[in-house]
Amino acid sequence: MIFDTGERNLPPVFLLHAFPLDHQMWFSQVEALRGQCRVIAPDFQSTGGVLLEHLVDDVFTLQDELGTGPAVFVGLSMGGYVALRAIERDASRFKGLILCDTRAEADSNAAKIKRADSIRFIRTAGVERYIDDFLKNVLAPGTFTKFPELVGRIREIARSRSADSVCSVLIALAARTDTSAVLPQIRVPTLLLGGEQDALTPPPVLQKIQAQIPRSEMRLIPDAGHFPNMENPSAFNREITRFISQVIAYS
């Protein structure tokens, strides 16, 4: 599934989704960017044997098929992993970069073991139980009390994936490469965004990335955890529209 909206002559923006969601996580950003950009939000493949390298291949192929030329890439969590590996492979495809709630390091041994434990849990307890536990760990506590309908929507999107699909992506995440070396080489305008209450990739993780990318900037989204684009869309959209407008103006 590929969501592609906006006039073809508008500046292109690729929205790269997080695990275990899909392009639907960007519904608020699509509306915020409407009329300003051509917004392209692909769903990553999640079949058996897929690796993060293949997801980068897919993004490049899509960019070529659509004929967008250099674009602004917005990647959240897993989408950030894809964006960082993509710019490491071919920086000429980028006009700007927004990294959200992500990290450059590959999984540590402990993190790989945790992903293996997650796969074991999914195989025994089911993907629904895994998704419920996952969301409890990644969303801000206030999101559950203030926005139960949003939590339900996120849960519905995540639960639409099969157990095999979720396990396949967990393996791909565990096998991804470290992209730390590319950070000092990034020359396009870069914005780091993160939820203030993100327990999965807390602010110090983003600060470490920001410190290594020349002339980058960082903003924290209040009242949000790992999915700030959905938990506090007004604040998130304000930052990305401001940044993208600046990139367009100076490109």
Distance CA 71, CA 92 (A): 9
The CB density around residue 35, as the number of other CB atoms within 10 Å, is 9
pLDDT of residue 204: 98
Q: Where are the alpha helices (DSSP H) in 78-216?
A: 78-89, 109-125, 127-138, 141-146, 148-159, 163-174, 203-210
Domain spans of the chain, in order of start: 2-105+179-250
Question: Which residue reads 């339900």 in tokens?
Answer: 152
Distance CA 200, CA 103 (A): 10
Q: What is the pLDDT along the chain (251 residues), one digit of tens a residue?
A: 687 888 888 999 999 999 999 999 999 999 999 999 999 999 998 777 789 999 999 999 999 999 999 999 999 999 999 999 999 999 999 999 999 999 999 999 999 999 999 999 999 999 999 999 999 999 999 999 999 999 999 999 999 999 999 999 999 999 999 999 999 999 999 999 999 999 999 999 999 999 999 999 999 999 999 999 999 999 999 999 999 999 999 87
pLDDT of residue 184: 98
Distance CA 5, CA 38 (A): 6
Find how far residue 37's CA is from the centre of its chain: 18
> Angle 15-239-10 (CA atoms, 0-180°, nearest 5)?
50
Q: Which fold has domain 2-105+179-250?
A: Rossmann fold (3.40.50)
> Angle 45-83-216 (CA atoms, 0-180°, nearest 5)?
160
